[in-house]
Amino acid sequence: MNKKTTTGSFSKVWKLITVLQKCNGKGVIGGKDALISPAAAKILAVTGLVLLTGAIGLVAFFTEPFIAQAVEVMDIAKSLMLMMLLVSFMLSVKNVVTVLYTADDLAALLPMPFSANQIVAAKLAVTLRFPLGLSMVVLNSVCLGLGLRAGKGAAFIAGTLLSSVMIPVTGLAIAALLVVVAFRVFGFIRNRDITAALGGLFTLAITVAYIIISNRLRNNGSSQAAAAMTAFASVSDSFPNISFMTRFMAEGSVLWLLLSLAVSLAAMALAMLAVRLFYLSTALAMQSTGTGKKTVSKGALSGKKQADTGKALFSCEAKLTRRNPAYLIYGFAMTFIWPLMIVLPFVFGNSSFDGILRLPISTGASLLCAVSLGLAASCFACGFNNLAVTAFTREGSNFSALKAMPLDFKAYYNSKRNLSLLVCSLGSVLYIIILGVVCLMTGFITIQSSWTVLCGAVIAFLSNIIIINCMLLKNAKKPRFDWDSETEFSRRLTWLNVVAIVIGTVAFIAFFIALFVPAALGENGMILPLAAGIFVLLAAALAATAFAVSRAFVRIAEKSLMAVE
């Protein structure tokens, strides 16, 4: 009988971590096409992090006498520990949802010789990589640099080293505990696409909070900033692991160290207990996302309600996309929330137009702003939308049956184009009109200049036609019909989406130039004729292009799709 070698539990988890990192794109550094080997790349990466930690530590070491005059070193350590705990928790929430629930590898991992605890431990370890590295660099560099210069003892150094590891682990454990329990209790978030949308909203909320906090700190003076740092450090006493650890660092009592470690270990134990009780049954139920079904009425079956082909195809397309969570989120929702990315920095930031603009702005400036903002709105609305760029791919295995049906391809093409055009126009043209009404009511533009808002709406609508037709043609040339789940392609932005977003960013920069340059020039009589000329030329070029692509791309798309086997 051959003696079988039994692999240890830790060794199996470590091997699984290595595989998951490569499958998730974490092991691409030093690949086969790189100039150096993977081992050399890892050595260079570690060396770079060590040098960065040392450089930050030297800065903290030499600036400690100036910093200590305003803030205590221990308060800085408390604040950094609390920041690292919050950052680790916030990063881990989204990462835990991704690796535990929305990843597609669970069905492949379960038949392998790994226990459920080993799979979860490996998955969580993959998410810990960045928070752990960030915590070790920040805490060790700043706290050790300040502590050594301030003459802190061995307890301070040991507490810093331990905290740089235990704090991100604790943040991950708390995040895993809350996520697993929430997914078990609240059934509506088990839908994978709703989960992704909630993750995006969570990230957006964190970004807004960061903008608000950074704005408040910038507006305060140095003494007020020091007081804010002290107040922030006092908040850390509410977190037992940080409170006990900082007491150990200040007093040197081993009891506080043991209590801090006990709190962290308790959080990890509770997280693993929740995983063992609730995880597998919930995760296995989320491995697929389907399209909702609806009972067909007798009237529809009997054909009493007849409609022309175009309306029927458009209605069918709209219902399929509206009922599917993947399309509803990435095809509809993202198109309407893009203004938040632009508005929030100005609402919560430190921006002020007082003394720069004289309101109301001139008609020429208003026309330039409307044209540039119309182009930007169109590019953003279409760039963050995936309806057009996945229009034919969404047919999947049903496309072969559609080819055999006696359908007019132009009507079929127009149904997909019109749906995308409707959604993108609601996210661009409608926004331009609403913004114009707001500007008119607030006195930003005059009643005599209100016609410029319609010019911006015209630019947005014509740009939508061009971008959507380009996306439809791209998808017709390279469709993908062999997919298993809608989420495989619904989340991905193609290069056309990226180009649209880049052009929209440039147009948005042009909006600010058009807003401030005419104001700086004053009442210049040449601005209005120049703006009118730009609008006429751009509108004419867009209208001609839109007409051309609407006619030509239908034929090209038909030839491309009919050639697909």
Q: Which helix (H) or strand (E) holds 4?
A: none
Per-residue pLDDT, 1: 40
Structure tokens at 156: 């301070």
Of residues 107 and 239, more confidently modeled: 239
Residue 350 has pLDDT above 50, yes or no: no
Structure tokens at 82: 């609390």
- 511 in any annotated domain: yes
Residues 375 and 271 in one domain: no
Q: Yes or no: say if 370 and 455 are a contact pair by the CB < 8 Å rule.
A: yes
- 320 in any annotated domain: yes
Per-residue pLDDT, 542: 94
Residue 344 has pLDDT above 70, yes or no: no
Of residues 345 and 418, more confidently modeled: 418
Per-residue pLDDT, 539: 93
Residues 173 and 256 in one domain: yes
Residues 501 and 542 in one domain: yes
Confidence band of 544 (pLDDT split at 50, 70, 90): very high
- 294 in any annotated domain: no
Residues 204 and 319 in one domain: no
**Mean pLDDT of the chain, nearest integer:** 76
**Domain limits at 379?**
309-341+361-562
Spatial separation of the C-alpha atoms in residues 154 and 299, rounded to whole Å: 82
Per-residue pLDDT, 5: 41
Structure tokens at 504: 């929209």
Confidence band of 262 (pLDDT split at 50, 70, 90): very high
Q: Yes or no: say if 423 and 385 are a contact pair by the CB < 8 Å rule.
A: yes
Residues 231 and 337 in one domain: no
Phi and psi at residue 490, to the nearest 5°: -70, -25
Per-residue pLDDT, 198: 57
Residue 331 has pLDDT above 70, yes or no: no
Residues 313 and 227 in one domain: no
Confidence band of 511 (pLDDT split at 50, 70, 90): confident
Mean pLDDT of 213-234: 56
Confidence band of 214 (pLDDT split at 50, 70, 90): low
Closest CA to 233 of 241, 243, 223: 243
Q: Which helix (H) or strand (E) holds 510?
A: helix 495-521
- 298 in any annotated domain: no
DSSP-assigned states of every residue in 103-140 = -S-HHHHTTSS--HHHHHHHHHHHHTHHHHHHHHHHHH
Q: Tell me the three-class secondary structure of 14-81, residue by residue.
A: HHHHHHHHHHCCCCCCCCCCCCCCHHHHHHHHHHHHHHHHHHHHHHHHHHHHHHCCCCCHHHHHHHHH
Per-residue pLDDT, 109: 72
Spatial separation of the C-alpha atoms in residues 185 and 124, rounded to whole Å: 21
DSSP-assigned states of every residue in 139-197 = HHHHHHHHHHHHT--HHHHHHHHHHHHHHHHHHHHHHHHHHHHHHHH-GGGGSHHHHHH
Return the percentage of the chain with pLDDT > 70, whole number: 68
Mean pLDDT of 181-198: 62
Per-residue pLDDT, 180: 83
Residues 268 and 331 in one domain: no
Structure tokens at 91: 């990063």
- Reported as a single tens digit per residue, the pLDDT across 44-68 is 777 878 888 888 888 888 888 887 7
127, 315, 389 from 384: Cα distances, Å: 27, 23, 11
Per-residue pLDDT, 360: 78
Residue 2 has pLDDT above 50, yes or no: no
Per-residue pLDDT, 314: 79
Structure tokens at 46: 């570690």
Most confident stretch, 102-116, 282-296, 297-311, 491-505: 491-505
Residues 107 and 197 in one domain: yes
Residue 283 has pLDDT above 80, yes or no: no
Report the domain count for the chain: 2
Per-residue pLDDT, 455: 93
Residues 379 and 420 in one domain: yes
Spatial separation of the C-alpha atoms in residues 468 and 453, rounded to whole Å: 23
Residues 322 and 275 in one domain: no
- 301 in any annotated domain: no
- 297 in any annotated domain: no
Confidence band of 221 (pLDDT split at 50, 70, 90): very low
Residue 230 has pLDDT above 80, yes or no: no
- 303 in any annotated domain: no
- 227 in any annotated domain: yes
Residues 378 and 261 in one domain: no
Confidence band of 397 (pLDDT split at 50, 70, 90): confident
Mean pLDDT of 519-527: 60
Quickly count: other Cβ atoms within 10 Å of residue 417's Cβ.
24
Per-residue pLDDT, 217: 52
Q: Yes or no: say if 367 and 532 are a contact pair by the CB < 8 Å rule.
A: yes
Residue 462 has pLDDT above 60, yes or no: yes
Residues 264 and 334 in one domain: no
Compute the half-sphere exposure of residue 105: CA atoms within 13 Å on the CB side of its CA: 17
